[in-house]
A and B are shown apart, each in its own frame.
Chain A
């Protein structure tokens, strides 16, 4: 079969989306070490623990339902006897009436039994649906809670589609087996036990013979499971990779098309898709072997049973009735066994998914938060950097030995060439990343002693990357209002913030105004308009400390001038950090920090810095003199 050899040609190494791949990037989450089957299973089962009581009820219900199912044939056999008696009577005596009343009575009893059995069966499924959905609900919640605790570096390195796949595809898979597998497993097990008891009452020896195939069945199941497990974990892993690729390509759709890279994107997709195809059909094929293989085994057992039974009957050790009954039971016995084995096999798929989910849940979290003691709702806004060292990557120092003092209410402008570390400074203030040594103090207290949420709630900011979420413009504006703000701004406050940020005038032209729903990534707004929205959002937030990281970089300069007024009004009396390349916007700052290569190279106000004829002087003149002078 051709698939075998070609599967070996696909490189085992995970590759980057563009086909090049490089070390370190592929191993986003440790999903390769699949294998701790038992541990994962135990963990999965432990998620059922809160539902213990219900599961016990389900067990009881299943036992009832099974008991009735086993009971019915017994009673029904009596009906058969009645009919048979009549026939034999008639055969023997020439006359004999069928006892319709007792027949009817028995049939009614059986009908009742079936009714009960069905009812309990339904009840088990119904209850199980509740349990399995609750479990998958809380597992998803766990993922979400985990996401909130992961450091930003995790988000940098993990493909979004990969996480998405865990939340939707893997969880979906788990929910499915929880729902179907568990009930079947429970009823199969009760069935096995029930029938075993019935068989034991008839003939312990024959029972022994019927269970002789059980270890064989177990062995077979284990063997098959081992193979399918590998394929299933590959299946879900590839699904994740593929999802990551799809997510990224769909997100970067415009760039992909403009560079005519559809074919390249499709080529990588093909490779992963082919892998997915391979592992899925193999996994499904292998787990599909279980049933037929068990069938062979069962029939083998059946024949042996018949032989031994026949011999025992010849020897007069067993009656005909017992043998027929026994054989009927042994037939019934095989069904739940086959089912159990088949469920155990689909479990492989569940475990593979669960393992991926647990890998995510086991990711290294941010350092734990300081305990929440009563911090004030506002802060004075005094900030101090003491000997701060920081680097994103261990061996590439970025900020070293930085010292800085900002008095409350000061407006600090940060300027410097790109890559100087301006945004990094903001990242550190907000504790998106933790510094390696030194300390950052807010109002004299180390920022690591604030719970992150409290610390961040003091800040309001416009980040360099505009981000809006899908929802109405109104909701996006109100997003700035922190959760623990006591008074929620009203409509007028919102509109006045919108006016100040020049949002109002374009929102007015939209048919639905502030209720206009933005799609994900807000593609129907211009880049500048999105930025204006983020500015309005920070106006509404009314923070103690304001951070504007190139807040107006995409806004035209006439509008910028108009917003500037609102901005200075907002920053009046509160500590603010303004990062900007257009130096005109920061001229009035109390202090200007000039950064280069992670260091503060100059510090002072506009006049003193110009007079110093240093770095700032250069920057300033590259903006104004060189070209404008000649031109005008």
Chain B
């Protein structure tokens, strides 16, 4: 069984758009809402694409802005200008 990579955000308008983008780009994403926060699990690899977030949020978006809303992550991180990914190799 592949382990889940996950990410959690504080609940707000920006993270709502980010979570929508994750759901669109990651088939199999599981969204769990908890008080004041939202956690998204994806088996194996979770990717956040800048282009999709920009589409949802309606403005240009720097992936490093994610950090303002981040709560926690699980998985090996790789970040470029266009993609932010978390993955487990096994």
Q: Do A and B come from one complex?
A: no
Which B residues contact A (CB, under 8 angstroms)?
none
Which A residues contact B (CB, under 8 angstroms)?
none
